Structure 1
Amino acid sequence: MQLKKAKTLEPIHPNKSTALFGGKSSGILNWNDIAYPHWYKMYKRLVGNYWQADEINMSNDVKQFPTLTDSEQEAYLKIIGLLSTLDAPQTRTALLLSLYATDPAVQSIMAVIAQQEAVHNESYSYVLSSVVSLDEQNQAFEHGRTDPILLKRNEHIMAQYNAFAEEPTMENILKTMVYTSLLEGMYFYSGFAFFYHLARENKMVGTSTMISYINRDELEHGRFISELFRATLAENPDYNNEAFMNWVYSTFQESVNLEIEWSAYVLQEVDGIDLEEMKGYIKYRANKMLRMKGLSELYPEYVDNPMKWIRAYADNFDGTKTDFFEQKSRQYTKTSDLNGFDDL
């Protein structure tokens, strides 16, 4: 059965929603009277993460990009293309989820997530405009619809997102949340790791600064979507069955395999990146997202992060900020006439 879009305002219904999807609510949001009170803290964390792409200083990256090896430059452009193909549909998907959510708190949180995804996509345009010509920028963004490995990698998520847009059933909402949490919590991470690898060698630090902020946002998005999935499943126990759980696990396994294939393809020529270590890191991220959903791990040998060095750059669910945000040499600084804007 297809769900109807939530009404904007229905004063005959209570302010506190009777269900996350398919429920009744007046449309009036009182954060002191919501069905899941702890989500207010999530909303505050998301709002507190506000940043803008063009406030990050890229002047050193402009000078460094031509000095990267051909393999590093190619990986840089392809991975930016990948990230843009994943983040661009996230803005619309977040908005679509909010349209069918009958809980006004979910609507507000998804609105913030949608705005942040729009900033992420803008940031990819911003970093590319800083380091390559317009033709090369356009070519990088073409990868998402022309590169066969990337098309294969994104095929299933595209199919599910489109299925939800065309047929907004409870099952498609739950499946879309599974793919969204995979996207937020695992799909990006081999790409993120590449930029952190460059930063570890003191290369393209401005870009990795940007990636760290995107990374922090995505971790919060992944956490909320996982909680929303669990709460929706609890409210709709008919879907908490063996067939659906088997679909979730098989989707995770398939997504891990595709991510490993993509990372090997895009990173194989980059010096200093251990592809076996990367494979383990992808499985570790998948385990983490499964735990967030209250599910069992698929890869028991990768409970701990095998890529220890990345903790200096990547945020984690157990801490509020990463080591990165405490590093004065890599802190977030607004670009101005004084710190290099005119050099871009």
Structure 2
Amino acid sequence: MSELFLEKAKTLEPLNPNKSTSLFNGKSSGILNWNDIAYPHWYKMYKRLLGNYWQADEINMAEDLRQFKSLTLAEQDAYLKIIGLLSTLDAPQTRTALILSLYATDPSVQSIMAVIAQQEAVHNESYSYVLSSVVSLDKQNEAFQLGRKDPVLLKRNEAIAGQYNAFVEEPSMENILKTIVYSALLEGMFFYSGFAYFYHLARQNKMVGTSTMISYINRDELEHGRFITELFRAVLNENPEWNTREFSEWVYSSFRQSVEHEIEWSAYVLADIHGIDLDELAGYIKYRANKMLRMMGLSEIYPDYTENPMKWIRAYADNFDGTKTDFFEQKSRQYTKTSDLNGFDDL
């Protein structure tokens, strides 16, 4: 690669200005004054992220434990495989957010990425928590092995794993931009067929504790995706040499490939689930890809999927589409905190 590798941002450099001269490869003292940052509205994003605070083990899973045994074998298998999938995405995302922050010379980006990394760690903890609530340790370990062994899942994750590792090995501006693109895909599209499965169960009053957990994860990911897409646009604006037709075509190609793999994975894991329309789900995946591209300042690639074909999902995630919803859809889903009185005595 002809491009020079970037250096990690200095921790403290008092001779530099507090307001960074650039998001990456700029100059900054390392001192963060939220009232003096290059992109002032990012403070609101930081505050929204902090407002999403929650803890996995405060969600009552007693009823899910009872219900899991009554799920069909296909439903149980999908449940375990999708939890395995989600864990393979959130675990590396924790580290990737931290690594991006090491090269960010804007301290506001460092702070926002620190919150995102912490939330991804909570998400990964939540997958361990829900599995420990409903299945044996052997089953839990089996689910977490899927990301290493399942051929369909390995194929699905190959491109993102390759890019994340390339960024570690070659921390260039090109790899920063490409890693941000895959982070946008992860936060805004890769999770969503899995989320849809748990919301599908909740529509039937099944595994509501799990779906409540997922809705909180979903809410976090919406905020992560919003910031990541804004970061992408800002970095391109600051580095116009990368704002080219060639790079745009790489983004579109990466999205198309990712959508194809997501649809293939969804058909594989949900084929035997009664009540899920796989064609509708494929349309929903394309809709999510279009939405993320729009947020990144790019054009849609699936003109027939500009509207959400699975509108019922909006009832399970706050502000799912970022649009106005009716009273019932606006109501936040409150989780029930587990205590000695309302949870563990029933397990």
Q: Which residue of 1 aligns with 2:73?
A: 70
- Name the CA distance, whole Å, in 2 between partners of 1:265 and 1:242: 35
Q: Give the match's secondary structure for 1:24.
A: coil
Structure 2 residue 137 is matched with structure 1 residue 134: yes
Q: Which residue of 2 aligns with 1:204?
A: 207
- Name the CA distance, whole Å, in 1 between partners of 2:216 and 2:312: 18
- Name the CA distance, whole Å, in 1 between partners of 2:323 and 2:97: 25
Q: Which runs of 5+ in 1 are unaligned?
A: none
Contact 1:325 1:331 in 2 (8 A): no
**Aligned-partner residue type, residue 274 of structure 1:** D
| Aligned-residue offset at 1:311 | 1.1
Q: Structure 2 matches for 1:52-67, cutoff 5 A?
A: 52-67=55-70
**Aligned-partner residue type, residue 77 of structure 2:** E
Could you list the per-position Cα deviations for residues 88-135 of structure 1 after superposition, in whole angstroms to 9, with x for gaps in the alignment?
Answer: 000000000000000000000000000000000000000000000000
**Aligned-partner residue type, residue 318 of structure 1:** G
Could you list the per-position Cα deviations for residues 241-263 of structure 1 after superposition, in whole angstroms to 9, with x for gaps in the alignment?
Answer: 11110000000000000000000
Q: Which residue of 2 aligns with 1:45?
A: 48
Structure 2 residue 315 is matched with structure 1 residue 312: yes
**Aligned-partner residue type, residue 68 of structure 1:** L
- Name the CA distance, whole Å, in 1 between partners of 2:105 and 2:205: 48
**Aligned-partner residue type, residue 37 of structure 1:** P
**Aligned-partner residue type, residue 191 of structure 1:** G
**Aligned-partner residue type, residue 118 of structure 1:** A
The structure 1 residue matched to 2:93, chosen from 90, 100, 104, is 90
Q: Give the match's secondary structure for 2:6.
A: coil
Q: Structure 2 matches for 1:316-331, cutoff 5 A?
A: 316-319=320-323, 323=328, 326=331, 331=334
Q: Give the match's secondary structure for 2:145.
A: helix
Contact 2:216 2:317 in 1 (8 A): no
TM-score normalised by L of structure 1: 0.97
- Name the CA distance, whole Å, in 2 between partners of 1:205 and 1:6: 44
Q: Which residue of 1 aligns with 2:282?
A: 279
Give the 3 Å change call, closer, same or farther, for CA 46–90 of structure 1 in structure 2: same
Contact 1:219 1:317 in 2 (8 A): no
Aligned length: 342
| Aligned-residue offset at 1:331 | 2.1
Q: Give the match's secondary structure for 1:202.
A: coil
- Name the CA distance, whole Å, in 1 between partners of 2:291 and 2:89: 20
Structure 2 residue 252 is matched with structure 1 residue 244: no
| Aligned-residue offset at 1:333 | 1.9
Could you list the per-position Cα deviations for residues 188-214 of structure 1 after superposition, in whole angstroms to 9, with x for gaps in the alignment?
Answer: 000000000000000000000000000
- Name the CA distance, whole Å, in 1 between partners of 2:255 and 2:139: 34
**Aligned-partner residue type, residue 184 of structure 1:** E
Q: Which residue of 1 aligns with 2:188?
A: 185
The structure 1 residue matched to 2:273, chosen from 267, 270, 274, is 270
Contact 1:324 1:331 in 2 (8 A): no
Q: Give the match's secondary structure for 1:302.
A: coil
- Name the CA distance, whole Å, in 2 between partners of 1:259 and 1:233: 27
**Aligned-partner residue type, residue 322 of structure 2:** D
- Name the CA distance, whole Å, in 1 between partners of 2:125 and 2:329: 22
Structure 2 residue 102 is matched with structure 1 residue 99: yes
The percentage of counterpart residues that share the same residue type is 78
| Aligned-residue offset at 1:339 | 1.4
| Aligned-residue offset at 1:318 | 1.7
Q: Which runs of 5+ in 2 are unaligned?
A: none
| Aligned-residue offset at 1:343 | 2.6
**Aligned-partner residue type, residue 60 of structure 1:** E
| Aligned-residue offset at 1:321 | 8.9
Give the 3 Å change call, closer, same or farther, for CA 321–48 of structure 1 in structure 2: farther
Structure 2 residue 258 is matched with structure 1 residue 220: no
Could you list the per-position Cα deviations for residues 32-90 of structure 1 after superposition, in whole angstroms to 9, with x for gaps in the alignment?
Answer: 00000000000000000000000001010010000000000000000000000000000
Q: Which residue of 2 aligns with 1:108?
A: 111
Contact 2:314 2:321 in 1 (8 A): no
Give the 3 Å change call, closer, same or farther, for CA 212–324 of structure 1 in structure 2: farther
Q: Give the match's secondary structure for 1:128.
A: helix
- Name the CA distance, whole Å, in 1 between partners of 2:183 and 2:325: 23
- Name the CA distance, whole Å, in 2 between partners of 1:63 and 1:234: 53
Give the 3 Å change call, closer, same or farther, for CA 25–321 of structure 1 in structure 2: farther
The structure 1 residue matched to 2:15, chosen from 2, 12, 16, is 12
